[in-house]
Amino acid sequence: MSVEFDRKIHNTLADANLQLAIYAATGRLKEKRSETVTADALPEYEELRSQANAVKKHTIENLDYYLEEFERNVEARGGKVVYAKDGTEVADFVRALAKERGARLIVKSKSMTTEEVDLNERLEHDGLEAVETDLGEFIVQLAHQHPYHIVAPALHMTRYEVADLFTKRLNVPRETVIEKQTAIARKVLRQKFLAADIGISGANFLVAGSGAVVLIENEGNIRLTTSAPKIHIAIAGIEKMIPRAQDLATFLKLLGRSGTGQLLTVYTSFLSGPRRSGETDGPDEFYVVLLDNGRTRLLPDRGKRQSLYCIRCGACLNACPVYRKIGGHSFPWVYSGPIGAIITPQFMGISHEPSLPFASSLCGACAEVCPIKIDIPKVLLELRSEVKKAEVREKRNRLEKLAFRAYAWLMTHPRLYEMAGRLAASAAPPDGSSWIRSVPAPMNIGPLRAWLSQRDLPPAPARSFREMWRRR
């Protein structure tokens, strides 16, 4: 794996406090989710999952149709749709609009899609102030970091770190009581909401049949972002599309429960177009930016296309024994956890971090909890195969390829396999009852060394099974 990846994993594993924070936070979310999807709590759970998968499959397979339907309906309600092929085009659009309107201050609600394109950084270059308003995002923005987890952006920080951050960046007296820290943020951000020229949100769902964006949250910052400023821009990946408002009866039941164990989050907003005549408040202008940024590269592959069904609930992160150890910041891109492991190589190319698909024990916990039944392990296995094919083409890692070819060859020659086994056993210490702690230096290389760095090795038995069987 890359040195960077290895280092980040190592540093996270070595930080005992962080280990506790990640494990506890994800454990709690995992627990809450499971309480809401038991056979008693939600007897129709499996049915809903199948329905969600079927609806997403249909939508993605006919995505062009639904994109156009969405566009028509947005425009029928007085909104505008803009297509952006990448982050540059998103930023260009926002900057141009801001300039035209003389806008300086932007409030933003949590959106992984905008993280994906580093929107805030791009806007800041033009002298625009873009303020994150979700408490966790506000905190990581002040810290100049990426969010740690899809649902809990500041999972990795303690109240003391937040206190230091607020004192340093907001110029307030040091405050370590969490309720009071929240009140500080509320006060600061309220001023921003009421003064902002533009509100930028993501979208949990795009509803083709309505020309609407659906947004879920617990704090109220999304409602404020999309209601107080005169301009609302929703930025969403093209894959967020669902056909009908009525499909929300399926998706909303799954999203809240899977993400945080809530039946519904505190606020669910269904927004279509600028305010209508007779509506006292709401934006005068409504834009939806539809982002590609690599999604069309992913689309042709029938096997891996399901990676686009994701509704960003975060359940896979909370279930993943690997995420629960290495946390969000070890991952090479903004998307972490099992979903991050499959979309990162597909959006960024497998050479971005070739070992990423291998950073999994394939335990399947992610697939078990995914509300849309994305077969994440299957996609990981396909990506692994692609990585190895690329290595062969580029003539890299030839030793490993050779070793596996030799092993396959050996396994199709049973007598030789048997001999090789006996040879290896004879090189090992004689059959004792204790496991092996270390081996002599010349042998302490490669996989053997890696194994022994963490655990003991089993002693070789005096006889193999087939020898014992023959002697019966």
Partner 1 sequence: MSRDNILHRVRTALGRSAGQGVADPPPVRIRIPDVDMEQRIATMLAAIEALAGKTHRAATPAEACAFVAAAIEGKSAVASNAPYLAECGISSLPGVRSGITDREELRGVCAAADVGITSADYALADTGSLVMIAGPHEARLVSLLPPAHIAVVPRERILTGLDELLSILPNPADATSSMVLITGPSRTADIEQILVRGVHGPGQITVVVVG
Partner 2 sequence: MGNRVSLFVTCIVDQLFPKVGMDMAGVLERLGYEVDFPEDQTCCGQPAFNTGYRDEARTMARHFLDTFESSERVVAPSGSCTSMVAHHFAELFQKEPETLARVHSLEKRIWEFSTFLTEVAGVDDVGARLDDVVTFHDSCHGLRGLGIKDGPRRLLERVRGLELREMQPAEECCGFGGTFAVKFAELSGAMARTKIDAILRTGANTVVALDLSCLMQIQGALSRAGSKVRTMHLAEVLASR
Please, which of residues 394-423 interact with partner 2 by CB under 8 A?
401, 404-405, 407-412, 414, 417, 421
Site for partner 2 in 358-377 (CB under 8 A): 358-365, 367-368
Q: Which listed option, partner 2, partner 1, none, makes contact with residue 293 (CB within 5 to 8 Å by class)?
A: none
* CA dist., res. 132 & res. 194, Å (int): 14
- Helix or strand holding residue 57 (H, E): helix 45-61
String marking each residue 30-59 x if it binds partner 1 according to CB under 8 A: --------------x--xx--x--xx--xx
Cα separation, 269 vs 286, whole angstroms: 14
Task: Give the count of residues interacting with partner 2 (CB under 8 A).
Answer: 65
- Closest distance to partner 1 from the beta carbon of 116 (Å): 16
Q: Is there binding between residue 132 and partner 1 (CB under 8 A)?
A: no
Distance CA 217, CA 4 (A): 34
For residue 62, the 8-state DSSP code is T
Nearer to partner 2, 162 or 350 (CB): 350
Q: Is residue 65 near partner 2 by the rule CB under 8 A?
A: no
Q: What is d(CA 422, CA 432) in angstroms, rounded to the nearest whole number?
A: 17
Which of partner 2, partner 1, none interacts with 162 (beta carbon under 5 to 8 A by kind)? partner 1
> Closest separation between CB of residue 104 and partner 2, Å?
46
Name residues whose C-beta falls within 8 Å of residue 242's C-beta, 6 or more positions apart in sequence. 55, 56, 59, 205, 206, 207, 208, 248, 251
- For partner 2, the closer of residues 408 and 441 by Cβ is 408
The DSSP 8-state label assigned to residue 236 in this structure reads: E
Spatial CA neighbour of 304 closest among 252, 230, 236, 378: 378
Per the listing, tokens 């709690």 go with: 28
Residue 294 DSSP code? T
> Within a 10 A sphere around the Cβ of 261, how many other Cβ atoms?
20
Nearest distance in Å: CB 277, partner 2? 55
Instruction: Name the residue nearer to partner 1 (CB basis): 308 or 356.
Output: 308
- The C-alpha angle 49, 55, 58, rounded to 5 degrees, equals 140
- Are β-strands 267-271 and 212-217 bridged in parallel, bridged antiparallel, or unpaired? antiparallel
Q: Which is nearer to partner 2, 441 or 450 (CB)?
A: 450
CA distance 306 to 47: 18
Residues 57-76, one symbol each (x = binds partner 1 by CB under 8 A, - = not), give -xx-xxxxxxxx----x---
Closer CB to partner 2, 280 or 412, in the complex: 412
Binding flag, residue 24, partner 2 (CB under 8 A): no
Any contact of residue 451 with partner 2 (CB under 8 A)?
yes
Q: Please tell me whether residue 17 binds partner 1 under the rule CB under 8 A.
A: no
For position 83 contacting partner 1 by CB under 8 A, the verdict is: yes
Interface pick for partner 2 out of 95, 180, 388, 439 (rule CB under 8 A): 388
What is d(CA 445, CA 353) in angstroms, rounded to the nearest whole number?
24
Diameter over CA atoms, the chain? 92
Q: What is the nearest approach in angstroms of partner 1 to the Cβ of residue 318?
A: 12
Judged by beta carbon, residue 211 or residue 345, the one nearer partner 1 is 211
**What is the token pair recorded at 134?**
């979700």
Bridge-based pairing of strands 241-242 and 129-132 is unpaired
Q: Quick one: which of 97, 117, 128, 189 contacts partner 1 (CB under 8 A)? A: 189
Q: State the alpha helices, DSSP H only, in 62-129.
A: 63-76, 87-101, 112-116, 119-125
Of residues 290 through 319, those in contact with partner 1 by CB under 8 A are 290, 292, 296, 299-300
Q: Which does 185 bind (CB under 5 to 8 A by kind): partner 1, partner 2, none?
A: partner 1
Residues numbered 307-346 forming contacts with partner 2, rule: CB under 8 A: 321-322, 325-326
Decide: is 447 part of the binding site for partner 2 (CB under 8 A).
Answer: yes
Instruction: Give the footprint of partner 1 on residues 144-183 (CB under 8 A).
Output: 152-155, 157-159, 162, 178-179, 181-182
- Residues 437, 440, 441, 442: which binds partner 2 (CB under 8 A)? 437
Residue 236 touching partner 1 (CB under 8 A): no
CB atoms within 10 A of CB 236: 22
Buried b (16+ CB within 10 A) or exposed e, 328-352: bbbbbbbbbbbbbbbbbbbbbebee
Interface positions with partner 2 (CB under 8 A): 1, 9-10, 13, 19, 23, 27, 321-322, 325-326, 355, 358-365, 367-368, 381, 384-389, 401, 404-405, 407-412, 414, 417, 421, 424-425, 434-435, 437, 446-447, 450-451, 453-458, 460-461, 463-469
